[in-house]
Amino acid sequence: MRVGLYPGTFDPVTLGHLDIVRRAASLVDRLVIGVAINRDKGPLFTLEERVAMVEAECVPLGRDVGCDIIVHPFENLLIDCAHDVGASVIIRGLRAVADFEYEYQMVGMNRILDDSIETVFLMAEAEHQAIASKLVKEIARLGGDVSKFVTPTVNSALIARLRG
């Protein structure tokens, strides 16, 4: 069984994330979406809320392509999380050259830690390349419309959290 791990904070999950999930699910038999706790980023949504959002948005995508999608919170090293879930490949989404520079360093470190785990990069579709959770939150905080960047359910959650 080919198991992939797609890690992130998903605060919140965006259409860009869903694009990568949909495409990654066609490459593996099981896709584990690792929701990072990452207390340093000061997430808008709790870990439990992010896990629930990712499950609601992503699990149905797996059914569409015959891939088992599991959501797994984690706080340890990415490479250790990959071991924990039995992943042989880490999936990373890229939006721009700036993403690549950071990811290139991350792959190098992960390969030193365990060279049996590969990293696969998927480029976001053109219409999703500008979407970043950080920017979505900022637009929403300032009262802007983020409905072009997130699903209706996530949009409602953002509105409720920031204006409720």
Q: Which of 22, 30, 50, 133 is catalytic?
A: 133
List 2, 26, 41, 63, catalytic entry: 41
Q: Which segments are annotated as binding site for substrate?
A: 9, 41, 78, 92
Residue ranges of the annotated binding site for ATP are 9-10, 17, 93-95, 103, 128-134
List the beta bridge partners of residue 31. Answer: 4, 69
Active site residue 41: yes
CA distance 6 to 127: 20
Residue 27's nearest CA partner among 103, 122, 127, 110 is 122
Q: Is 133 a catalytic residue?
A: yes
CA dihedral angle for residue 101, residue 106, residue 109, residue 113, rounded to 10 degrees: -160
Q: Which of 17, 22, 30, 50 is catalytic?
A: 17
Q: Count of H helices and E strands in the chain?
A: 6, 5
Is 83 considered catalytic here? Answer: no
| 17 catalytic residue (yes or no) | yes
- Catalytic residue (one of 72, 95, 111, 141): 95
Return the active site residues. 17, 41, 95, 133
